[in-house]
Amino acid sequence: MAYIVDMRSDTVTKPTKAMKHAMVNSALGDDVFGEDPTVNALESKIAAMLGKPAALFVPSGTMSNLIAIMVHCSKRGSEVIVGDKSHIFKYEQGGAAHVAGCLVTTMENLPDGTFDLEKLEKKFRGSDIHEPITSLVCIENTHNVCGGKVLPQKWQQDLAAICRKRSIPIHVDGARIFNAAEYLNLPMKELVQHCDSISVCFSKSLSCPVGSALVGSVHFIEQARRMRKMVGGGMRQAGVLAACALVALDEVVPQLATDHKRALRLAKVIEGMFLKCFTVDVQTQHTNIVLVRLTDACPARAGDVVQRLAQVSLEETQGDCKTTNDEGVILKSVIFDDRTIRFTLHCQISDEDLWLAIMKITYVFKEIEAKATSNTRVSAV
């Protein structure tokens, strides 16, 4: 069989041995009654790490974001401002509108994941009776679609000052917030000190099978607990899942720097190939996500390249891409858009996996580059 390297996402990881051991031996109770000691321990720990009074364990980051919006925007018809490339806007099925009854207004995300704060101030509404009331601003850190970018701390401070003037809370979709803290070399509580609520995902980057946490004030979490029950997120003996997250905070979070280093290595290798068809921005490579752009010179689409990376040709098994079993390498990646491919590094990608992925990318990218050169020559003739 071909050797498979899965870089589609950091959600494809499996629980570690330590996590499985913790699951089997976790103390359990009914969490809806607040009686699961392992869940309670996790909620206390993640709240303390983020410097907030309370936290709530929920099944997913999408539910966590939705609950946050429902609590902050308790009046139907409230307005939520989000980035136009944010996960909340692009990948959560319009839950803010469908379930929470909120109007979602977008700001153009800049390449670094931020948006123009002067334009934001002009977006705020509520003084005119014809308009909805702006009730929440949501940001994303790290920013997925922008390639795992970490939001500048100064920008967050300026955003907070603007929102405070109008008493508008800030929610952070921090699915990969630990990656941001690692990149900036900041304590978590300092990273989110200007934010009112934070969603943290344990199944992205941290190798857990299930679970996120919503963090904020005591009153906020009390209301969030009610909303969790409403949307079907109340869990019973959830300590079997919370146990994994406790292990992740102690054992996986300290390894995130390795994921970042491997991602940077991959980006530098692609840049160093000096190809006309593919480009990567090494200068803004922050965390564990590598975005490869297809230039206008590339005859293929992102979907074609992703499909080719997941195939093994006969020529590969006889060349540099063969494994010890001479079966080649299958590299799984993700289409971000028609001209962009995403590779995501995670704790279960080893140095050997990375090397095999690099060999595969080199082979396929040069193969496509050769076709582009051949097409150019034919056109010239």
**Predicted confidence band of residue 371 (pLDDT cuts 50, 70, 90):** confident
Cα 296 to Cα 311: distance, rounded to the nearest angstrom = 24
Pair (249, 262) in one structural domain:
no
Q: Please enumerate in sequence order all residues whose Cβ is within 8 A of that of 129, keeping only pairs 6 or more positions apart, or say none.
A: none
Pair (82, 61) in one structural domain:
yes
Mean of pLDDT values over 369-376: 78
Mean of pLDDT values over 135-147: 96
Give the tokens for residue 193.
């000190």
Pair (230, 330) in one structural domain:
no
| Nearest residue to 21 (alpha-carbon basis) of 189, 223, 251, 342 | 251
- Residue linked to tokens 């308009």: 131
Residues 231-283 have pLDDT tens digits of 999 999 999 999 999 999 999 999 999 999 999 999 999 999 999 999 999 99
- For residue 325, what pLDDT is reported? 54
Pair (245, 260) in one structural domain:
no
Please provide the average confidence, as pLDDT, over all residues in the chain. Answer: 94
Give the total number of structural domains in the chain. Answer: 2
Pair (123, 51) in one structural domain:
yes
Pair (350, 262) in one structural domain:
yes
Q: 212-216 and 197-201: which strand pairing? A: antiparallel
Domain final residue, candidates 223, 253, 283: 253
Query: Residue 39's domain spans which residues?
Result: 17-253
Pair (204, 296) in one structural domain:
no
Pair (35, 139) in one structural domain:
yes
Pair (237, 261) in one structural domain:
no
Q: Are 168 and 125 in contact (CB under 8 A)?
A: no
CATH number for 223:
3.40.640.10
Pair (67, 109) in one structural domain:
yes
- pTM value is 0.93
- For residue 314, what pLDDT is reported? 81
Residues 294-348 have pLDDT tens digits of 999 999 999 999 999 999 988 777 665 555 456 789 999 999 999 999 999 999 9
Pair (181, 265) in one structural domain:
no
Beta bridge partners of 6: 332
Query: Phi first, then psi: what are they for 214, rounded to 5°?
Result: -110, 130
Pair (93, 212) in one structural domain:
yes
Q: Are 228 and 63 in contact (CB under 8 A)?
A: yes
